[in-house]
Structure 1
């Protein structure tokens, strides 16, 4: 029996549309073992079938490696909310692939994990940090495997995460983003991506705030989150330096380097937005882990 632990992720990080992602300290835990028939427990009843994302990723990996499929028992316990912009699907995809490798004694590198998971997810921005930990900038050269640049994130930083009780579907979020942008918008983004990654590395919240001024997606996606303006105002008034939409939403993530500020802000947010879940998170530096039970 094996247990795979995969961190949640925040993609885009405001300025890095489809390129940046960061692993954070919420986790999905998936236990797997060979069995006489497929059984899935722990998750809601609607996901306890052969269409389960962990199982489908497991089958995909076996097929890729030329292995015959076999029945397994899967138990899923996750802190990562579904369809809220925290990479819930990526955690399950990564767990399924790692489970397939472990149960067939197949040695797999993190680079191969990223490539397989990207082929299922479509983009490496969530799966890469889930596998590698820390912050990751990803791109895929034509005809090649994804390239991933890993950036350590200052341990001083705290990410106050506000999760509204409603979903923003990725397909809907992509529809509102323009498919073409002016040259000056592209130039605006490029320097700020470098600034944001440097700010995360050094813990320079002033630099992070200055760089986090997106013109590609957040001006359009914020309209899909009814609480965006009110939460942003509360976070900045409460001492956070900046805020971004996590993934395609609806989760919002504010940044500070002061633990006391983070705790007071969490209290304020819980009072003002009691329907939202709030967490004070750090950057996960380990990425996906596996242990034998």
Structure 2
């Protein structure tokens, strides 16, 4: 029996649309064991079957290695909400692939894990930080495997995370983002991506705030989150340096380098938005972990 723990992730980090992602200290736990028939517990009944993304990823990984699928028992215990922009699907994909390797004795490096996970998920911006930890910039050269640049994130930074009680599906969020942009917008983004990653490394919250001024997706996606403006105002007037939409939403993530500000802001957010879940998170530096039970 094995247990796999996978961190949640925040993709885009405001300015890095479809390229940046960061692992955060909120986790999904998956227990696997060989069994006589497929059983899945810990999730809604409609997902307790062969279409479960954890099992689909498990089978896809076996197929990549030329191994016939076999039944397993899977138990899921997660703190990562579904369709909230915190990489819940990526935790499932990563867990399934890692379990396939562990239960077959297949030796696999993280680069191969990222490649297989990307083929299942469709893009690396969530699966890469979930596997590698830290903040990751990902891109895929034509005809090659994904390239992942990992950045350590300063432990001075804290991320106040606000999770509204409603979903924003990635498919809907992508529809509102323009397919073409002016050259001036591309130039605007490029320098700020470098500024944001540097700020994360050094813990320079003022640099992060200066860089986090997105023109590609947040101006359009914010309209899908009814509480966006009110939560943003509360965060910025409450001492946070900046805020971004986590993934495609609906989760919003504010940044501070002051632990006292983080605690008081969490209280304020809870009072003003009682229907929203709030967490003070740090960057997860380890990425997905496996334990034999």
TM-score of the superposition, structure 1-length normalised? 1.00
The alpha carbon displacement at 1:46 in A equals: 1.7
Question: What's the CA shift for 1:204?
Answer: 0.2
1:131 aligned residue: 131
Distance 1:197 1:144 in 2: 24
Q: Indicate the residue corresponding to 1:61 in structure 2.
A: 61
1:267 aligned residue: 267
Superposition deviation, residue 45 in structure 1: 1.5
Check if 1:122 corresponds to 2:122: yes
Matches within 5 A, 1:142-291: 142-291=142-291
SS at match of 2:129: helix
Pairwise mapping of residues 66-77 of structure 1 onto structure 2 (< 5 A)? 66-77=66-77
**Following the alignment from structure 1 to structure 2, what is the Cα–Cα distance between the partners of residues 80 and 108?**
26
State the shift of 1:75 in Å: 0.3
Q: Secondary structure at the residue paired with 2:189? A: helix
User: Which aligned segments of 4 or more residues in structure 1 are displaced greater than 2 angstroms?
Assistant: none
State the Cα distance separating 1:47 from its structure 2 match.
1.2
Matched, 1:87 2:87: yes
Write the distance in 2 (CA, Å) between the matches of 1:7 and 1:279: 14
Residue 20 of structure 1: aligned partner: 20
Using the TM superposition, give the Cα deviation of residue 68 of structure 1 relative to its aligned residue in structure 2, in angstroms: 1.1
- Aligned partners of 2:70 and 2:184: how far apart in 1? 53
More deviation, 260-269/39-48: 39-48
Q: How far does residue 43 in structure 1 lie from its aligned partner after superposition?
A: 1.3
Residue ranges of structure 2 left out of the alignment (5+ in a row): none
Measure, in 2, the Cα distance between the counterparts of 1:278 and 1:119.
32
Secondary structure of 1:177's counterpart equals: coil
Task: Report SS of the residue matched to 2:21.
Answer: strand
Task: State the alpha-carbon separation in 2 of the partners of residues 151 and 190 from structure 1.
Answer: 17
Could you say what secondary structure the match of 1:14 adopts? coil
Q: Give the TM-score, by structure 2 length.
A: 1.00
Provide the rounded CA distance (Å) in 2 between the counterparts of 1:44 and 1:250: 21
Q: RMSD value over aligned CA atoms?
A: 0.4
1:9 aligns with 9
Deviations 1:226-257 (A, max 9, x none): 00000000000100000000000000000001
Cα deviations across residues 25-50 of structure 1 (Å, max 9, x unaligned)? Answer: 00010000100000001112221111
Distance in 1 between the 2:41 and 2:172 partners?
30
State the secondary structure of the residue aligned to 1:75. strand
Q: Secondary structure at the match of 1:31?
A: strand
User: Displacement, 1:220?
Assistant: 0.3
Give the count of matched residue pairs.
Answer: 293
d(CA) in 2 for partners of 1:235 and 1:280? Answer: 13
Q: Please list every run of 5 or more consecutive structure 1 residues that lacks an aligned counterpart in the other structure.
A: none
Secondary structure of 2:216 counterpart: coil
Could you say which residue in structure 2 is the equivalent of 1:97? 97
SS at match of 2:240: coil
